[in-house]
């Protein structure tokens, strides 16, 4: 019985617990390292590419429209008698979703958003007839009127194209009095 026990122990020690003293060859190790580096490079490339494409898409929306949405200086003035500010926006050959207008005067700023749909009660009316306002169409311009108690210091407009608000495309800081500019 003792002999059988010794045989079983030798068998397990010899076959199951014997350390494999052989290693992988240098060629196999080099191939594995190259494959690992390539997999990591592909993962990094996919992540960076997706980030860059997302940023390019938002930049492309606003590219080349700087002088396509402008303030028409001829029809922009302040009427000190009626305390009304009128301004005119011109849109050239471009599709615009919205235009954000910022009118600043003596420490306060009023913002208006014009869209392609008729908008009642946004604080603006069409000049000279009044009524609901909307964004001018392609290759067109419209003039708007708003009540402001003091002469504005600055008007800025920023178009929104494909859901992306662009930089200020035009501004005017020298606003004439309507009565003297006529």
- pLDDT tens digits, one per residue of 21-61: 566 788 888 889 999 999 999 999 999 988 887 766 666 66
Domain co-membership, 127 together with 169: yes
Q: How far apart are CA 56 and CA 52, in angstroms?
A: 6
User: At 5, is the pLDDT very low, low, confident or very high (cuts 50, 70, 90)?
Assistant: low
What does the pLDDT read at residue 12?
58
Domain housing 139:
69-181
What does the pLDDT read at residue 19?
56
Domain co-membership, 43 together with 76: no
Per the structure, the count of domains in the chain is 2
Domain co-membership, 73 together with 103: yes
Give the pLDDT mean for 169-176. Answer: 86
Tokens found for residue 160 = 């929104």
Domain co-membership, 34 together with 82: no
Domain co-membership, 87 together with 170: yes
Residue that is written with structure tokens 């940023």 in the block: 55
Residue 10 belongs to a domain? no
Domain co-membership, 59 together with 94: no
Domain co-membership, 92 together with 42: no
Domain co-membership, 108 together with 169: yes
Domain co-membership, 93 together with 52: no
What does the pLDDT read at residue 135?
85
Domain co-membership, 53 together with 113: no
């Amino acid at each position: 019985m003792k002999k059988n026990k010794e045989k079983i122990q030798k068998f397990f020690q010899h076959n199951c617990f014997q350390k494999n003293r052989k290693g992988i060859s240098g060629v196999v190790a080099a191939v594995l390292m190259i494959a690992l580096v390539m997999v990591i490079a592909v993962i990094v490339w996919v992540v960076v590419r997706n980030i860059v494409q997302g940023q390019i898409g938002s930049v492309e929306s606003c590219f080349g429209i700087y002088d396509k949405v402008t303030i028409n200086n001829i029809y922009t003035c302040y009427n000190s008698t009626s305390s009304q500010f009128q301004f005119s926006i011109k849109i050239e050959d471009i599709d615009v979703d919205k235009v954000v207008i910022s009118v600043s005067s003596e420490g306060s700023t009023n913002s208006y958003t014009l869209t392609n749909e008729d908008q009642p009660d946004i604080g603006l009316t069409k000049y000279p007839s009044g009524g609901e306002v909307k964004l001018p169409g392609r290759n067109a311009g419209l003039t708007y009127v708003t009540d402001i108690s003091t002469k504005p210091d600055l008007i800025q407009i920023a178009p929104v194209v494909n859901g992306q608000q662009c930089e200020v495309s035009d501004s005017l800081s020298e606003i004439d009095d309507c009565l003297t500019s006529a």
